[in-house]
Amino acid sequence: MKALFLKRRQDFHKQQSKYLRYVFNDHFVLVLMFLLGFALVQYSQLLRQFPSNHLPVQACLVVLVLLLLNVGSVATYLEEADQHFLLPKEEEVVTHIKQAERSAFILWAGLQTAILAFLYPIFNRLGFSLVTFSLCLLVLVAVKKILLSRKVGRFLREEGLDWEKAVAFESNRKQAILKFYSLFTSVKGISTKVKKRTYLNPLLKLVKEDAKNLWVTLYLKAFLRSSDYLGLFLRLLLLSSLSLLFITNAYLSVGLALVFNYLTLFQLLSLYHHYDYHYMTGLYPENNQGKKANLLAFLRGLSCLILVTNLLLCHSLEKALILVVVMGIVTLLYLPYKLKKIID
């Protein structure tokens, strides 16, 4: 049994290593290094010029602690067929899950403690002694243990293992990881949930229904009804908006907003292949060039929507000029190049 789950873990890590090469490419590493340097400088300045009003700092720490407590899951590596083939060995599977829970607790509690320990100087400025801070860390570690146990308790109970919930739990964990990688490259194995969302149907009238806009209509329907595309668009648009609103450094705020905008448009390029397995679309009298032109028009429309939203939130002519120039380059030059490269 140990050998089976060890093999699955190795296979999943091998799959992740392929995607990590695209995540940590040269450009993204440079952005991370820049952000890390900026964060360390800001941290140093905060300690040197600690505000007399502690409320904003305390609020940020509370949010950080809540995020750290909720981050993390238990990797069981269960698969759908296990509920049939491993049912006779349920006790061994339960033992494996408990071991996985302990490993997850060590990993995530250790990471949580390391991050908070790094921020001890801030806690010290807020009046926490080393003893008090250590006790708080222990309490948070205990809370982390409880939260992980509750996650496992959804499918592992005293009366036995709920195989269906256990398999769904592991599937959701893997999907969350793969969806993160999908921000940077095309990822296989992501399941898509489709919802009709009738309240968004009026938006479909924005596109004239004729042969010229055939694929624009289809792309718009996929965008509005697929949780992957619409959810991704709204999340990244929110992040770019927050960057422009709350980061005081003009170049950093615009840089982050542009990174989020780029990730949005790059990920939406996968719309081109969204209908590849819908065989009825093969009956449409449209060639690949028309399909490509429609997708380019659709993405340029979204790019304009993103740009307008960003311009409404930035209160600086300098920021607005940078946004217009860079988004113009991305929309007019980069998107056609990238779309041609992906299709070819």
Q: How far apart are CA 108 and CA 69, in angstroms?
A: 9
For range 183-194, the mean pLDDT: 64
Contacts within 8 Å (CB) and 24+ apart, 245-250:
245/313, 249/38, 250/316, 250/318, 250/319
pLDDT at 146: 95
The tokens for 76 are: 């069981």
* In the predicted structure, residue 308 carries a pLDDT above the cut 70: yes
Tell whether pTM > 0.85: no
Question: What pLDDT digit, counting tens, does each position of 211-264 carry?
Answer: 677 778 888 888 888 767 887 888 889 888 888 887 777 888 888 888 888 888
- Are 134 and 117 in contact by the 8 Å Cβ rule? The answer is no
**pLDDT band (50, 70, 90) for residue 117:** very high
The tokens for 329 are: 């380059």
pLDDT at 7: 92
With a CB cutoff of 8 Å and minimum separation 6, the contacts of 178 are 19, 187, 189, 190
Q: What share of the chain in percent tops pLDDT 90? A: 31
Give the DSSP letter string of 113-128. Answer: HHHHHHTHHHHHHTT-
pLDDT at 284: 67
* In the predicted structure, residue 344 carries a pLDDT above the cut 60: no
- Are 271 and 187 in contact by the 8 Å Cβ rule? The answer is no
Alpha helical stretches, state H, 226-249: 227-246
Q: Lowest mean pLDDT of 180-189, 208-217, 245-254, 316-325, name the range.
A: 180-189
Average confidence score pLDDT of the chain: 84
C-alpha count within 13 angstroms, C-beta hemisphere, residue 229:
21
pLDDT at 74: 93
Which sign does the torsion angle of CA 87, 93, 98, 101 carry?
negative
- Are 275 and 281 in contact by the 8 Å Cβ rule? The answer is yes
Pick from 284, 288, 270: which is nearest to 210 by CA?
A: 284
Question: What pLDDT digit, counting tens, does each position of 263-279 carry?
Answer: 888 888 878 777 766 76
Q: Lowest mean pLDDT of 124-133, 177-186, 230-239, 281-290, name the range.
A: 281-290
pLDDT at 183: 64
Alpha carbon 236 to chain centroid distance? 9
**pLDDT band (50, 70, 90) for residue 342:** low
Q: How far apart are CA 286 and CA 300, in angstroms?
A: 20
For range 125-146, the mean pLDDT: 94
Q: 3-class DSSP state for residue 161? A: strand
The tokens for 239 are: 């992040």
**What does the DSSP 8-state code read for residue 99?**
H
- Are 72 and 104 in contact by the 8 Å Cβ rule? The answer is yes
For range 323-331, the mean pLDDT: 90
